[in-house]
Amino acid sequence: MADVSTQAAITREQVAALSEMRREPGWLRERRLQAWEAFERHEWPRGRWTRLDDLPLAGYSVNSKAQANGNVGLSPATREAALEAVNPFLGGEQELAGVLVHVGSEVARHTLDEALARQGVLLLEMDQAVHEAEAILKEYFMTRAVTPDQGKLEALHGALWAGGRLIYVPQGVEVQLPIQLFQHALDGDAYLFPHTLVVAEPNSRVTVVEGATSQDSQERLHLGVVEVIVRQGASVTFATFQDWGRQTTNITLRRAWLEQDAQVHWSVGEFGGQRTISRFETRLDGQGSQARHLLVFFGNGDQYMDLFTFVDHWGRMSQAEMLGRGVLTDRARSIYQGKSYIRRGAKGADSQQHEDNLLLSAEARADAEPSVYVDEDDVKAGHGATSGQVDEEQVFYLRSRGLTEKQAIGMIVQGFFDPLLQEIPVEAARESVARLIAKRLE
């Protein structure tokens, strides 16, 4: 896949055909075409670390079932096998306000608490939302948090997005239990471009748990986007984790836009994929807005992870904290970049970041590049990062207490992650991430 050139791989005719196949209204078709035009204008990102102009787009086809509109008719056996695989990651019905599970491009499970539905809360598959929540999409879909003008990847997604989900919480409504989203990709899903949009109107509150897994025998490209719009005084907790198969190129762009006194709490777990490019960012637009970014990751084999987290302070008295912890073993490599930007006018802003890496093998490599940019006085900002091998004295001590070397390293890794895992505010997400860590230690 990586050797295929992407030059001129996507055409205007393909984008128009995708919109027609999905029976979209004219305004949405026009947005797709505008995104394609932006894609043509933009250059591929050329950072110091990761090359992205070799994405396997040449084989893209609008006939892929992953781009189909509506269900594709999974066999009962396929559906049951897939649900059995994802059930360990799902919370119980009594623990959730709603759940939306995709198996391939089919909705395999979809529920929402009736009392919340009567209050106007929406949990819709994106194909439903296009027709049932058109006004919401017109206002928020790729107009604020993520836009095609931001870069080539954003524009590519805007042109080819397919499927996903909308969560909408009206003003003043507090969703007490989490809403869970899950996507399990099947063989044949070679191109995945899902879009998640969360809108929390003023003084509302919602917690979202998102997960993604896949079968491992299919090469695929995943380019997903998550947009979180947090209006004045609202609060969104978004916990997400992925365990894509090892033949997956995974790119995920997550961005939140916060108004005055709004809050967002991100918890991101990156575990799967052969190559992962993960971006999660928050624009603190309003006075008194607050963001907390938590990142955990575990790479093994020859995995490559390019991770970037960014807080952009525009509002006065805005606050942000970014914390990351990662473990690498075998020949895995990670690049972690944390960035804080305090803009002129953001007086009283406070932005802190710290990231730690633990290496379990001499061949593993972790690079960290925290940075702070300040264009205003009367602010607080700081950053730091560490990388190191497992402490041999700790291993020796634990082995002297009867543990094997593998058990000792496993206990050290679990203790290394535990402070951040305890901060993941949703039990289902916390247990899922702990399960994925344990899987890497087997």
Separation between Cα atoms, residue 172 and residue 184, nearest integer Å: 33
Handedness of CA 97, 103, 109, 115 (dihedral sign): positive
Query: Chain-centre distance of CA 62, in angstroms?
Result: 24
Q: Mean pLDDT for each consecutive 10-residue tract of the chain (442 residues)?
A: 46 94 95 97 82 80 54 70 84 90 89 98 96 97 97 96 96 97 87 96 97 84 97 97 94 98 97 95 98 96 96 98 96 95 98 95 93 95 89 86 90 92 83 90 85
Q: At what angle do helices 427-440 and 405-421 cross, to 10 degrees?
A: 150
> What does the pLDDT read at residue 73?
63
The radius of gyration computed from the CA coordinates of the chain, to the nearest angstrom, equals 21
Identify the burial level of 48 via C-beta atoms within 10 angstroms of its C-beta, where 0-12 means exposed, 13-18 middle and 19 or more buried: exposed
pLDDT at 299: 96
Give the pLDDT confidence score for residue 365 in this predicted structure: 95
Rounded to whole angstroms, the Cα distance separating 357 from 366 reads 7
pTM of the model: 0.93
Can you point out the beta strands (E) in 170-289?
179-185, 191-192, 195-200, 205-214, 220-230, 235-243, 248-258, 263-270, 275-284
Question: Hey, CA dihedral for 244, 246, 249, 254, is it positive or negative?
Answer: positive
Helix (H) or strand (E) run with residue 372 in it: strand 365-374
Q: How far apart are CA 171 and CA 385, in angstroms?
A: 40
